[in-house]
Copies of this chain bind each other. A is one copy, B any other.
Amino acid sequence: MSLVVIGTLAYDTIETVHERREDVLGGSATHFAVAASHLVPPRLVAVVGTDFRTEHMEALRARGVDTAGVEVAEGETFRWSGRYEADWNTRHTLDTQLNVYEHFDPKLPEDYRDSAFVFLANASPRVQMRGLAQVTAPTFVVADTMNLWIETARADLDELLRRVDAIVMNDEEARMLSGEGNLIRAARRVLDMGPRYVILKKGEHGAFVMGPDVHFSVPSYPVEDVVDPTGAGDSFAGGFMGYLAREGDHGPASLRRAMLHGTVTASFCVQGFGIDPLVEAGTADLTSRTADLLCIVTV
């Protein structure tokens, strides 16, 4: 079934303890779409500036991504710059330049409106809801969010939470949103706010999904050489939603399988900068790693 992502295309400048890279193709929608593209051809809604390089648009199209929903606006593309500590868990944002993204107003092309599976990547809840409103009859809607919106747009976020089927968040965001330190209690509190499912990402410690008919926990895939974790969360979401869209199902058994696919796509993402490792990975690589992960979790 069809899958649409509304999010950002960006240029990232990334510093790790080993390396520094400038203007790496990034952004939530980029990572999501490339991850999902291994399973279904995703539809992309985003805005870029006139500096966005043709070769990058071509790279997305080459992955089967529908870029008809990418608006080109006068100005520069969204830019983010960050630095990771040696343990990878601590990330410092050095600079954020919203540029054309500051006035992003998602416009879905006519033929995107019948999308069944919808991913609202991290954005202000108002922008997420404006995007969602253009989808006629979505089957399964998942939203991401971040600490900024929890702190500054809580009423809007509460409204969004009542309109989506699932929310994906990391441990820190879940604790902040719920006011609970214990992650299981935090997840239950978030469920009380409206969504049917919460998908809680714990980085190197894996992820779990919780809802009325499922509670499933998966460890992260054992990656020994992390190069750059940027985009891991969106790659997880892309593998997760890509699987559901390909199956055309969001029942509990599919959600469990989708968690494995999300985990595997995220594991490729962190092994290089930008989208390179996920573009280079073949179907056989993903299948093989999914089988490995299944073995690691099977009692």
Contact = CB atoms under 8 A, between A and B. Distances in A.
Interface of A: 86-87, 181-185, 188, 202, 204-206, 208, 215-219, 222-226, 256-257, 260, 294-299
B256 A215 contact: no
A257 B299 CA distance: 6
A298 B299 contact: yes
Given A206-B206, A216-B297, A257-B299, 20 more contacts: A182-B226, A185-B224, A188-B224, A202-B205, A205-B205, A206-B217, A208-B219, A208-B296, A215-B296, A216-B296, A216-B298, A216-B299, A217-B219, A217-B296, A218-B219, A219-B219, A256-B299, A260-B299, A294-B299, A297-B299
A181 B219 contact: no
How many copies altogether? Answer: 2
A298 B215 CA distance: 10
Nearest to A220: B217
Contact residues of A: prevailing secondary structure: mixed
A208 B218 CA distance: 12
Contact of A215 (B204, B222, B260): B222
A257 B298 CA distance: 10
Nearest to A259: B299
Contact of A184 (B183, B188, B223): B223
A215 B297 contact: no
A12 to B, nearest CB: 23
